Chain A
Amino acid sequence: MSGVNDPFEVDLTTKELRSTERQDWANFSDEALVRLAQRGAPEAFSALCERYLPRVLRRLRAVLPPEEVEDVAQEVFAAMIRSLQSFRHEAQFSTWLRTLVNRQVANFYRRRQPAQVPLDLAGFDDPTEAGQESLPQEFDLRLSYSMDQTGLDEQIWLRQALLHLPENYREVLFLRFTEGLTFEEIARLQGRSLEATKSLFRRAVAALQRGLADER
């Protein structure tokens, strides 16, 4: 995001912030919006929400049963609201939010399948978070749909295969397909070369293909 109209560059007063047009908030950087939201500006929080809610929903839809997506999205944003004051801008906001999404997905499957839990969700947890319970090694997503294997459609098979992918593979696919980042943007975000990013993407697609073949 560009720094156009960034309140930390032009030091807007509260009155000026209130008179900022709705469309102008879209020009603020994530960092500026987060800082303003931390100071209590509802418009800034609203703009953040507008920017990230669709991305969060897309990502959740890729790995959750459709009827659970809205509830988990609310949990993600509730967790974000609780932690927003302690966000110190050491990481990018988008990266931090992705971590929250992954954690809520892991929590969802933990709640859902406390005993059976044969599913690989390791990448959905934040490894830096102290005190997190260890995650299940495997998980059968079909159980969460309460369907016979014969009734599972392509989408469910794909979701299951996605959940079984190693975290770096799954992440590059989500960034390209659900968040619409270009390969250049993914490379910058992950600190890789463009060539390495494209290679990771191709290997992720191939792994998914193999995973689907194995499961069928």
Chain B
Amino acid sequence: MSGERSSRERWLDEQLAEFTDRLLASEPGLQPSAADPELRALQEMVARLKRLLADPQLDPEAIERLQAQILVTWQRQHRETSAADEPRRSFSERLRTWLAPAPSRRSRWALGLSLVAIAALGLLLALFLPADAPLGWLGTATGDEAFWPLAVLAGLLLLVGIIWLWRSRS
């Protein structure tokens, strides 16, 4: 009896699985129609489940909107995680990085041009400012007011040159 029952259960398992596969593959005109009442009731339940769980189409606009919102959340979280993971650098480390050789020829040229522009601006300021106003205080210690501003400018230019050469080395 139990063997018979077991073989019936196996038959029901197979029949229902096959019906479900065909139904979910949208086989046209497929209806619960088994002659066996137990199997037919199960087929009807599967058809109801398909209507509830598998049939309703998802709204593509809703999916797109949700996906965009989720991506924004991911980007925000990723930025926060990356910022938190980056170790805090000391002033000396940051200075070393800044003084380190520039990574590419292009950025070396950009840096060089920037430094030359700063130096030229300083030179122009010194040449066109009134002699008694800005840099004049430097000359008060020696009394030679014309010498010190020029010396400071020359020192500045030298410093600029050294930094540029340092950053330019490959």
Contacts and interface: CB of A to CB of B under 8 A. Distances in A.
Contact of B16 (A46, A50, A173, A198): A198
Nearest to B79: A40
B67 interface: yes
A158 B48 CA distance: 9
A176 B81 CA distance: 37
B99 to A, nearest CB: 28
Interface residues of B, number: 36
Contacts of A176: 20, 24
Contacts of A174: 53
B62 A77 contact: no
B8 to A, nearest CB: 11
B69 interface: yes
Interface string A37-80: 10010100110011001100110011000000010011001100
Most buried by A among B50, B53, B70, B78: B53
A202 B12 contact: yes
B46 A205 contact: yes
Given A201-B13, A209-B42, A209-B45, A180 B69 contact: no
Given A40-B82, A85-B81, A180-B54, A202 B70 contact: no
A170 B63 CA distance: 25
A208 interface: yes
Given A82-B77, A154-B48, A201-B17, A77 B70 contact: yes
A74 B17 contact: no
B52 A195 contact: no
A85 B12 CA distance: 45
Interface in B46-86: 46, 48-50, 52-54, 56, 58, 62-63, 66-67, 69-71, 73-75, 77-78, 81-82
Interface of A: 37, 40, 42, 45-46, 49-50, 53-54, 57-58, 61-62, 70, 73-74, 77-78, 81-82, 85, 154-155, 158-159, 173-174, 176-178, 180, 182-183, 195, 198-199, 201-202, 205-206, 208-209
